[in-house]
Amino acid sequence: MSRLVDIFCPSWSNARKVDAQVLRATLQECFPGEVTCRVLFVPESLYRDSDRHTAALTTVDTPGDFAIFLERVLDSTEVRKYKRRALIATPKWCDTRSIGRAEELVDLVMFKTPAAQSTLAGSFERQPQVLVGFSSPDPKRQVERHETFAHFGARSSNRGSQILLDLWRRRPDLPALHVQWYDAAAPINFPKWLQRDNVHLLLQHFPKHDEYFAELARHGLQLSFAPPESFCHYHNEARAMGAVVLAMRSESFSVAELEHGINEIRLMSPKQRSESGKLARQAYEDERKAFSLRLREAIREHLLTG
């Protein structure tokens, strides 16, 4: 008999929706016929109000067998009916109240990145803690050519878009840069590339993954920024497409380091760029397999057993 795993996902976050998609697909591949997954979307207010963290499962008649929470543990009468519960923890949402609630309610804490696990070391005293890693959906396409630099900022304020625009304005000698960005707080939507000197800017949010992947595939040299404790789908999707990816993961990186990395890419021959793209694709595949194995072991040992 198949057991039902409910995945609690913040309704407003596109990245977490991708997390839920990947988690559901991976679990059902790991446990064919044994596990069925259901994604439950939670309103933003329940994530951001540190005094509440309660969720009435108004869209669910009966809770499943097990629950997995993305980023923050919620509490309700229905939540307490699950046989076991797990949390995929990130430092951003683990304040004192959240950690206390997780200590009480969850049976397993999982981490996507070593930096997240290190940051939260010692926060959870009762639960087993497992670094499972993570992955992204396979775009099922490759970059068209390794010629143009691009940066997809999506709707994130910490992806370094302004840093790149400032650098390119200061360096007119640099080749063309394509930057996509969209701010939901200031929804200026212009679905065509605007060009000024060596910068092309697209003010548009891609509501469908196919549209985003098609645009991403046009640029084989990707510039990615993300805090070290975060798992960056953009970075991973670019690698899956075989792009050359310059990833600035350190919070203390300098513009000089960024310029050095860009110059290194510019000096690469077409063959070197192609080989670098193949290595990026292989790294994506290796990490996806490792995530699947670690997740299966963690879920089997700590949720399904017993």
Identify whether 297 is part of a domain: no
- The CA-based dihedral angle spanning residues 287, 16, 299, 47, taken in that order and rounded to the nearest 10 degrees: 140
Pairing of strands 190-196, 199-203: antiparallel
Q: At which residue do the structure tokens 């760029």 appear?
A: 273
- The CA-based dihedral angle spanning residues 298, 284, 206, 20, taken in that order and rounded to the nearest 10 degrees: -10
Residues in the chain: 306
Identify whether 106 is part of a domain: yes
Identify whether 215 is part of a domain: yes
Total-model pTM: 0.91
**Are 191 and 239 in a shared domain?**
yes
Q: Give the CATH number, domain containing residue 162.
A: 3.40.50.2000
**Are 196 and 274 in a shared domain?**
yes
The tally of domains found in the chain comes to 2
Of 134, 158, 187, which residue constitutes the final position of a domain?
Answer: 134
What span, in angstroms and rounded, lies between the C-alpha atoms of 281 and 244? 10
Helix (H), strand (E) counts: the chain: 9, 12
pLDDT in tens, 156-212: 655 688 889 999 999 999 999 999 987 666 556 666 788 888 999 988 878 788 999
SS3 state of residue 134: coil
**Are 243 and 207 in a shared domain?**
yes
Pairing of strands 244-248, 199-203: unpaired
What span, in angstroms and rounded, lies between the C-alpha atoms of 66 and 63? 8
Residues of the domain holding 220 = 149-285
Of 84, 106, 134, which residue constitutes the final position of a domain?
Answer: 134
Q: Considering only the C-alpha atoms of the chain, give the largest distance between any 2 of them, rounded to a whole number of Å.
A: 64
Identify whether 103 is part of a domain: yes
Identify whether 292 is part of a domain: no
pLDDT in tens, 91-116: 988 888 889 989 999 999 999 999 99
Is the predicted pLDDT of residue 44 greater than 80, yes or no?
Answer: no
pLDDT in tens, 210-259: 999 999 999 999 999 888 888 999 999 999 999 999 998 776 778 899 99
